[in-house]
Structures are given as C-alpha cells and as structure tokens.
C-alpha cells in the first residue's frame, strides 16, 4: 500500500493542503487525492447535461459525458485510488444516465472494476439509479471531515462541491481566469469536474459570504500545475 500511495503522489501535478488535519493532494485534473485513504474525490460531473438541455430545445453535441468520464478514467489510471467519491450532481438529472452499451457507460463499467464507487447525492441527483456500481450516500464522514455536496454552516469541517469555483488573477500577461479549489483550514470547495459546467467567481457573494478567513487560498488550475494564491490577492469581478 505504501508503495502505491507514493507512486500516486509522484504522478500528481498539484499541491498539498490540509483540511482539519486531513491531508489532500490537489490535482490539476480537478480531483483531490487522499493518500492515506487511497481515495480520489471529484465533484459536479453533471453527466448527460447535453441530453437534459436537448429536452428543452437547446441542442449541443452529445459528447459531454464521454469527455468527462474519459478525463476521470485518466485520473484514476494515473493516481490509482482504491475508492472514488463523487460529491453530488454527478448527473445533471437523476433520470438521465449514460445509455447502456454507450462508450460513456463502458467507461463507468471499467472504472467499477478498478475502484469502489461512493456516490454522494446532490441537488441535481437527490437519488441515484439502483443499478449504479457502489453505494449512494447523503454524506461521508472521514477523520472528522464531512464530505457532502453543498456547504453548510453547521460548524463541521467539510469538503464540498456545488458552487463550481473559478478565480481571476491579474498577471503580466493580463487578467487570467481559471477553475480552482478554494481552501481554508476547515473547508475545501472543489471545482466542477464536468466538461460542460459553468463556473462562479470566488469573489461573488454565494462563495465569498461563506467566510474564508485570512488564511484562505485559491488553487488555480493550469494545464500542468496548480498555483496557490491568497484569497485577498484575487481580482474582484466587476
């Protein structure tokens, strides 16, 4: 096990942080790896979003689920976790899942052969189909930290998704906007992993009003690296 964990950490293109003492490695795929638990955490895949939008006449190429799951499979192959936690809104609608026999469904099948799935319910998927691999939970408690979909003001340290954070930073090359993790000592807000998801600026009130403290950092995701930036140094969207 120690060798596998060390190998996975060497494969990370990211940054280490701790939430209430729980060690995480933030990966540039948008996933978080917990080495001691051999666990990979992702949030907000929003699978089958294009199919859901098509029901309302908004026609988009129907490849979002395949692209998202291909990225997830690549992260699993590279980091080699034993379990995979999906922090809610894994499906854009609870009644829409990749069609049996489709390339996206085949990736799910392959992943189920490699890792134990733990599906956390979200506001888009408050229940999961009974035939999904693994188990479906409202939340998962791990080392005093609660893994759940939405942030809650109940005083618990938490790892959450739901808000799809992105951050803006003024650089010599101009203003840069990137998906990001946002972390304080007691909370990690995960970026959306899905390829067809929007993003909310971390300085907008739904995120900033959560209360982050002077030690909060945004971890901006670039193609091959993660860049930690103090929360106060981020550009405010105007």
Q: What is the pLDDT of residue 10?
A: 47
Instruction: Give the helix/strand (H/E) hosting 52.
Output: helix 49-54
- Is the separation of the CB atoms in 164 and 207 below 8 Å? no
| 8-state DSSP, 91 | B
3-state secondary structure of 2: helix
Sign of CA dihedral 127, 188, 111, 142: negative
pLDDT by residue, tens only, the chain of 238 residues: 544 555 555 465 579 999 999 999 999 999 999 999 999 999 999 997 755 555 656 555 566 889 999 999 999 999 999 999 999 999 988 787 888 889 999 999 999 999 999 999 999 999 998 889 999 999 999 989 999 999 999 999 999 999 999 999 888 888 889 999 999 999 999 999 999 898 999 999 999 999 998 899 999 998 888 999 999 889 887 6
Write down the pTM of the prediction: 0.91
- Is the separation of the CB atoms in 79 and 13 below 8 Å? no
Rounded-to-integer distance, Cα 30 and Cα 67, Å: 14
Structure tokens, 83? 């379990």
Structure tokens, 140? 């998962």
Strand segments (E) across 114-173: 116-120, 135-137, 140-142, 145-147, 158-160, 165-171
The CA distances from residue 21 to 84, 139, 226, in Å, are: 20, 19, 21
Q: What is the pLDDT of residue 50?
A: 59
Q: How many CB atoms lie within 10 A of CB 114?
A: 13
Q: What is the pLDDT of residue 51?
A: 56
Rounded-to-integer distance, Cα 65 and Cα 73, Å: 12
Walk across the sheet containing 116-120 and list its strands.
Answer: 14-19, 22-27, 32-34, 39-42, 83-86, 116-120, 135-137
Query: Which residues are 188's β-sheet partners?
Result: 159, 183
Q: What is the pLDDT of residue 238?
A: 66
């Amino acid at each position: 096990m120690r060798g596998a964990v060390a190998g996975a950490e060497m494969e990370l293109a990211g940054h280490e942080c701790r939430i209430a003492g729980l060690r995480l490695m933030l990966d540039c795929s948008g996933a978080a790896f917990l080495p001691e638990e051999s666990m990979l955490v992702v949030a907000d895949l929003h699978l089958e979003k294009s199919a859901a939008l098509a029901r309302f006449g908004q026609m988009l190429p129907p490849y979002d689920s395949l692209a998202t799951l291909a990225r997830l499979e690549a992260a699993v192959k590279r980091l080699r976790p034993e379990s995979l936690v999906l922090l809610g809104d894994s499906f854009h609608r609870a009644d829409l899942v990749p069609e049996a026999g489709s390339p996206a469904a085949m990736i799910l099948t392959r992943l189920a052969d490699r890792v134990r799935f733990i599906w956390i319910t979200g506001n888009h998927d408050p229940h999961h189909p009974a035939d999904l691999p693994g188990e479906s939970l409202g939340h998962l408690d791990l080392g005093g930290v609660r893994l759940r979909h939405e942030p809650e003001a109940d005083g618990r340290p938490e790892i959450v998704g739901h808000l799809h954070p992105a951050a803006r930073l003024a650089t010599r090359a101009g203003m840069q906007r990137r998906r990001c993790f946002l972390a304080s000592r007691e909370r990690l807000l995960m970026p959306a992993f899905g390829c067809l998801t929007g993003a909310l600026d971390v300085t907008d009130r739904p995120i900033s009003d959560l209360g982050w403290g002077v030690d909060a950092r945004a971890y901006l995701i670039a193609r091959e690296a993660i860049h930690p930036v103090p929360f106060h140094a981020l550009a405010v969207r105007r």
